[in-house]
Amino acid sequence: MAKGSETFTIGQRTGNISVGALLILLYAICVTLLVVGFSAYVIRTDWNGALANNGAELRDLDTLRFLVKRDEELEALIAAAQDDIARADDSILITVQAENTTSVQYDRAQTSLRETVMLAHAHLSEATAHLAEGDNARLYRLIATQEDKPMLAAVNAGFFQLPLMSFRDTIEPQKRQQILSDASDLSARLTELSDQISSLTLAVQNAESNTQRAHEERSFHLKRQNSHQAALDELRKSVPIYSEHRTRWISLADAGWWNPLPQLVSTPTILLTLMVTIAAGALGTLVAYSRSTFLEQRVPSGSRLLIILGEGIAAAIGVFLFAGAGMLVLSQGGGPDGRLELSPFTVAFLAFLSGFMAESAFNKISNFGTDFFGKGTDTNADAADGDAAAKPHPVAPPDPVGADDAPKPAT
C-alpha cells in the first residue's frame, strides 16, 4: 500500500511539472504578444504623428510603406530594363558582325562574278574567230552588250549557242574540243557564282533585318527605362533618397526575418488592438488560474487550464466586440485626419480583467444578453407561479416519541 501511494505521488508531481511548464510557456507567449503588439502600436502611432506634417503625398505610415515599396519596384524594373538594353547591345553587335561578314562575302562573290564574266566574254570573242562563216557573226551579235542586255546575260546566251555552232574546217579537233571544254567550265562557274550571289543577297537582307530588329528592341527597352526613371524621379520628390523616414523604414524592414515589427507596424491598428486584447485576456486567465490553484491548493490540470484559457480569450473577444460596437466609450483620436480609433490600452485592460474574472465577465455578458433580447412573457411567469402555489405542500409527520420521553412505570 505504501508503495502504491509513493507511485501516485511521483505521478502527481510529474503532472504538476508538465502543467507548470505549460503555464510558464503560455505566460511567455502572452507577455511576448503584449510587448510586441504594444510596441508596434506605439511605433505606428508615433510615426503617423511625425508623418502628418510631410505634405499631401506622405501623410501616414501606410503611404510611406507604399512609396518605399514602389521605389524598390521601380528600381528593379529599371535594372531589368538595363539588362535588356545590354542584351540588345550584344545582339546588335552580333548582327552587325554577321552583316559585315555577309557583305564582305557578297562583295567578293560579285568581284569574282565580274572577273569570270569578263573572262567568259573574252573566251567567246576568241571563239568567234574559229567559227564557220555566218555562225561567227551570229555569236558576235549574241555577246554584244547593250543597255537592256547586261554582259552576264549575253555571255550565258553565247555559251548556250556555242555547242550548236559549226567551226571552220581548218581548226584542229583538239582545239575545238578545248574551246568547248573551257566554255563549259566557265558557264558552270558563272552558274555557281550567280547562285552564291543570290544566297548571299538573302543573307545580307536577313542580317540587315536582324540588325534593325535589334535596334528597335533596344529602343523599346530604352524607352521603358526612361519611363520608369521618370516615375522614380517623381516619386522621390515625396520620399527623397536621403529621407529620414525612408531610411528608418528600410532599416526596420532589414532587421531580419525573426523580427515581426515590420509586419506588425504596417498592420492596421484595429488588428493590433485585437491581438493585444486576446493576449491580455489570456494573460488574465493565466493569473487567475495560478492564484486559484495556489490559494485553494488544487491539483493542477492541463485540460482545465486550456478550458479556462479558451473562456478567458472568448471573454476578451467579447469585450473587443462590445467596445467596437460603440457600447463603450473606449476611443481616441488617431491618424492625421483625427479619426476615432479603439484605444488598445483601455480595451486590453478590460480584456485582462475579463480574463482574470472570466466567470463575472460571462455573467455580465449573460445579463446584457438577457436585457437585450428580453425575458420570458409575464403570463408564462404568472402561470408558473400559480402552478407552484396550487401544489399541496407535504405535511411533516410528528416526531416519534423517544425512549427518554416515554412515561416510566411507578415503582
Q: What is the dihedral of CA 80, 86, 90, 91, to 10 degrees?
A: 50
Task: Report which of 142, 134, 198 is spatially closest to residue 166, judged by C-alpha positions.
Answer: 134
Note whether 277 and 361 are within 8 A (CB). Answer: no
3-state secondary structure of 131: strand
How many Å apart are CA 61 and CA 266, to the nearest integer? 7
| Identity of the amino acid at 386 | G
How many Å apart are CA 187 and CA 140, to the nearest integer? 17
For residue 177, give Cα distances in angstroms to 83, 165, 172.
66, 13, 9
- Tens digit of each residue's pLDDT, the chain (411 residues): 444 444 434 444 545 668 888 888 999 999 999 999 888 888 888 888 777 766 556 777 888 888 888 998 999 999 999 999 999 999 999 999 999 999 999 999 999 999 999 998 888 888 888 888 888 888 888 887 665 568 888 888 888 888 888 888 888 888 889 988 998 999 899 999 999 999 999 999 999 999 999 999 999 999 999 999 999 998 888 777 777 787 877 777 776 667 787 778 888 888 888 899 899 888 888 888 888 877 777 777 778 888 888 888 888 888 888 777 765 555 555 544 555 566 777 777 777 777 777 666 666 667 777 777 765 444 444 444 444 444 444 444 444 444 444 444 443
Note whether 36 and 323 are within 8 A (CB). Answer: no
Ordered by where they begin, the domains of the chain are 2-58+260-369 (no CATH), 64-235 (1.10.287)
| Identity of the amino acid at 267 | T
